């Protein structure tokens, strides 16, 4: 009786100790994670400044390299950068997320942010241009020589959701130029019956690329730069520049930023530092 009771208690105690140890380990871990950037920052000219960037999803691979370069050069650190569809980013800012810099993949989404006074209009600048391409899985035998060929493709077509994903809007504009989409604006229209049931909408341009890479979709509309950041896809066709609005990536400092000066410095660095330019070049972003 007695020894059973003890073992029951010790059983519970073991569990409690294990839980405590795990939580302690977790605290130790987070403090270690947190102190590393702080230590790096304290040796530099601007200690303690941490920038929060909201960047278009297509910048997901290139931006961290540029950030690392900047941290090395100045000591300014970066909070976990958010890479989502540009429309989502603007909504997230509207929702109250703290942001220092916003970089979107279309003038339209930046206009929305500007109208809502989320960004400082004076700091707005066009940063990159990009091309809209149709991709297929690597080694796929799908041949596309014109936009009209999209209608005869056997398989699903990945297109970004036009409201949140600028690439999807450009894609719809391109499709509208050959009559496969009903609205020239690329938003609010209907797909032609020939492709309507084949279109799969993606929440980010990266998702569209991933759908093609995994074989869920036969082709997808993405940027040239997405081809370089995802394995397993290749360019099947580059859409003519005149088939859609010019693809530019505007960047601006957020109106609510507490580090507006440092944020502007970083934008400047992105556009002028030669090492940063080499990274953009490697990932296929052409400076605007």
Partner 1 sequence: MRFSKIKTRPESGSGFVPGPLGSCAARAFALIIAVLVVACACLSVPMVALAKTEAAVAEEGAALNEEVGIGLVGFKRYQKGALRPVNDVDLGYRYPLPSEATLVALATNEAIMIYVDAAAAAEAGLELTDAVQRDALIALVEQLDEESSRGGTLIADIAADREVIVTDAQDMTIGSYTYRFAVDAGEGRYCAVQPASLGAGEDPTTAAEASGLDLSEGALWCDGARLVPASEVPVAAAPGPLQQLGTFFSGVDYRPFWVSLKTSAVALVITFVLGLVAAWRTMGTSSRLKGALDSVFTIPMVLPPTVCGFLLLLLFGQSTPVGQWLIDHGVSLVFTWEAAVISAVVVSFPLMYRTALGAFESLDAAMLDAARTLGWSEGRIFARLMLPLAWPSIAAGTVLAFARAMGEFGCTLFFAGNYAGVTQTIPIAIYFEWMSGNTDVALFWVIVVILFSFVVVLFINLYTAHSQRYRERGGVASGRGRHRAVSESVPEAGGDALRIDREALRALIAETDFAADEKRC
Residues at the interface with partner 1 (CB under 8 A): 1-2, 4-5, 7-8, 11-12, 15, 19, 22-23, 25-26, 29-30, 33, 60-61, 79-80, 82-83, 92, 94-98, 135, 138, 204, 206-207, 209-210, 213, 224-225, 227-235, 272, 274, 277-278, 280-287
d(CA 249, CA 86): 10
Output the smallest distance, CB 39 to partner 1, in A: 16
Nearer to partner 1, 32 or 45 (CB): 32
Nearer to partner 1, 169 or 204 (CB): 204
Output the smallest distance, CB 22 to partner 1, in A: 6
The whole-angstrom distance between residue 20's C-alpha and the CA centroid of its chain comes to 38
Output the smallest distance, CB 105 to partner 1, in A: 16
Q: Which residues face 202 on adjacent strands?
A: 160
Characterize the bridge pairing of strands 50-51 and 77-78.
parallel
Nearer to partner 1, 77 or 191 (CB): 77
Nearer to partner 1, 126 or 192 (CB): 126
Output the smallest distance, CB 158 to partner 1, in A: 13
Residue 43, judged by CB atoms within 10 A of its CB (0-12, 13-18, 19+), counts as: exposed
3-class DSSP state for residue 232? coil
Nearer to partner 1, 26 or 38 (CB): 26
Indicate left, alpha or beta for 124 from its phi (over 0: left) and psi (-120 to 50: alpha).
Answer: beta
How much of the chain is in helix, strand and coil states, percent to nearest 5?
A: 50, 20, 30
Output the smallest distance, CB 91 to partner 1, in A: 9
């Amino acid at each position: 009786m007695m020894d059973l009771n003890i073992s029951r208690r010790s059983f519970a105690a073991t569990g409690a100790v294990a839980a405590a140890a795990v939580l302690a380990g977790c605290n130790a871990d987070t403090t270690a994670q947190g102190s590393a950037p702080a230590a790096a920052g304290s040796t530099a000219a601007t200690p303690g400044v941490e920038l929060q960037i909201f960047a278009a999803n297509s910048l997901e691979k290139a931006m961290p390299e540029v950030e690392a370069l900047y941290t090395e050069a100045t000591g300014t650190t970066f909070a976990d950068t958010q890479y989502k569809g540009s429309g989502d980013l603007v909504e997230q800012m509207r929702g109250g997320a703290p942001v220092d810099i916003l970089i979107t993949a279309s003038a339209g989404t930046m206009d929305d942010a500007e109208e809502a006074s989320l960004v400082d209009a004076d700091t707005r600048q066009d940063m990159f241009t990009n091309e809209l391409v149709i991709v297929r899985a690597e080694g796929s035998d799908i041949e596309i020589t014109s936009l009209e060929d999209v209608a005869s493709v056997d398989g699903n077509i990945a297109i970004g959701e036009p409201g949140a994903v600028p690439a999807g809007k450009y894609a719809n504009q391109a499709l509208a130029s050959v009559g496969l989409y009903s609205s020239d604006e690329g938003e609010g229209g209907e797909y032609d019956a020939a492709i309507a049931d084949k279109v799969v909408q993606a929440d980010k341009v990266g998702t569209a690329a991933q759908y093609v890479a995994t074989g869920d979709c036969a082709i997808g509309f993405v940027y040239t730069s997405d081809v370089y950041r995802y394995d397993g896809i290749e360019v099947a066709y580059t859409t003519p520049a005149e088939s859609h609005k010019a693809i530019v990536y505007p960047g601006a400092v957020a109106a609510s930023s507490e580090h507006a000066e440092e944020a502007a410095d970083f934008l400047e660095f992105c556009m002028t530092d030669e090492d940063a330019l080499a990274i953009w070049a490697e990932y296929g972003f052409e400076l605007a």
